[in-house]
Amino acid sequence: MVDTQWTHTTVLLTDSIDAAVTDPNGTYIDATYGRGGHSRLLLSRLSTAGRLIAFDRDHEAVANAAALAASDPRFSIRHAAFSAMADIAPGSITGILMDLGISSPQVDDAARGFSFMRDGPLDMRMDTSTGQSVAEWLGTASQARIAEVIHDYGEERHARLISAAIVAAREKKAPLERTTDLAKIVASTVHGREAGQHPATRTFQAFRIFINDELGELERALEAVPDLLCPKGRLAVISFHSLEDRRVKQFIAAHSKEVFDPRSPQSLMRSSELQLKLKDLGRIKPSAQEVKANPRSRSAVLRVAERTSFNKGRAS
């Protein structure tokens, strides 16, 4: 059943579509359909010959997209993680849009278990038909592993204290199964958090990223991008925290910058002979007006790159 209760305000909507869409007759990928804000605007920019392939591993998002797929032959939706785009024919894609993270409906629906503000099952899976929930994982994970996940994926300096409190609570009573139980444990452990941020913010982020392998999915998808894009094709990625943005920034830099190691034979090559795959087109932040209208956009960063074309071994 398609949900109608939850709403989602698409971040950097016009900026991202302006950046990604260069040819109305092209074939595009919306790597994270969500509730279709980007897809619908992108389709409005395409001709009858244009095509849009969307991905999402959330059953509710795929169900939401069914009506659009049925009414518009240019659009198709795939129930899969966006790393599955690697299976598409090389050089066939004109633009790829990735809107990373989670959507407002996922956060606002307590039953999904993403929110520390609403009581619900401690799940956090984007695809609830596969894998472990956070509650199941916390029921058996070691204290050291829990601390590692909180530190690495939440950049939380109190990771050891939080993991110790979680294990102590687990051993004292039944396993943690509710979001508010976890939030209370973290809040009782972490003090002096930044103004305006709930003490459990980083811990919930860490568990969500880990349980869904979000960074692994991002890295696998990014590696497929240069082969997928046709010459002059665009990559546009919206990220919401430093872990994602750092990987996108480093990926674009690795494929767009000439790096010379004096110990390497490649250092003797002329810059014109290096076949760089991407051209960095910079980054865009939400306007003050957008942040005021949608506070969830304040941390968003849009990075854009273009696939280079080659002529006799030279990038252009």
pLDDT tens for 133-168 read 999 999 999 999 999 999 999 999 999 999 999 999
Would you say residue 260 has pLDDT above 60? no
Contact between 204 and 116 under an 8 Å Cβ cutoff? The reply is: yes
Q: What is the pLDDT of residue 141?
A: 96
Section 295-313 average pLDDT: 81
Domains 13-104+214-315 and 128-211 share a fold: no
Higher-pLDDT residue of 197 and 306 is: 306
Q: Where are the domains of the chain?
A: 13-104+214-315, 128-211
* 3 state SS for 99-112: ECCCCHHHHHCHHH
Class for the domain spanning 128-211: mainly alpha
pLDDT band for position 4 (cuts 50, 70, 90): very low
Would you say residue 120 has pLDDT above 60? yes
Q: What is the pLDDT of residue 8?
A: 55
**CA 210 – CA 134 distance, rounded (Å):** 9
Would you say residue 315 has pLDDT above 50? no
Q: Could you identify the residue written with the tokens 């409906």?
A: 105
pLDDT tens for 41-75 read 999 999 999 999 999 999 999 999 999 999 999 99
Would you say residue 312 has pLDDT above 80? no
pLDDT band for position 276 (cuts 50, 70, 90): confident
Q: What is the pLDDT of residue 2?
A: 38
pLDDT band for position 10 (cuts 50, 70, 90): confident
Per this entry, what is the length of the chain? 316
Question: Over the chain, what is the mean pLDDT?
Answer: 88
**CA 137 – CA 211 distance, rounded (Å):** 8
The two three-digit tokens of residue 295, written as one number:
């506070």
**CA 112 – CA 154 distance, rounded (Å):** 19
pLDDT band for position 203 (cuts 50, 70, 90): very high
Q: What is the pLDDT of residue 41?
A: 96
pLDDT band for position 262 (cuts 50, 70, 90): low
Please give the DSSP secondary-structure letter assigned to residue 51.
E
Q: What is the pLDDT of residue 196?
A: 67
Read out DSSP for 40-95?
HHHHHT--TT-EEEEEE--HHHHHHHHHHHHH-TTEEEEES-GGGGGGSPTT-EEE
Q: What is the pLDDT of residue 271?
A: 44
What fold, for 13-104+214-315?
Rossmann fold (3.40.50)
HSE at residue 265, side-chain half, CA atoms within 13 A, is: 0
Winning range, highest mean pLDDT, from 118-122, 172-176, 226-230: 226-230
Q: What is the pLDDT of residue 5?
A: 47
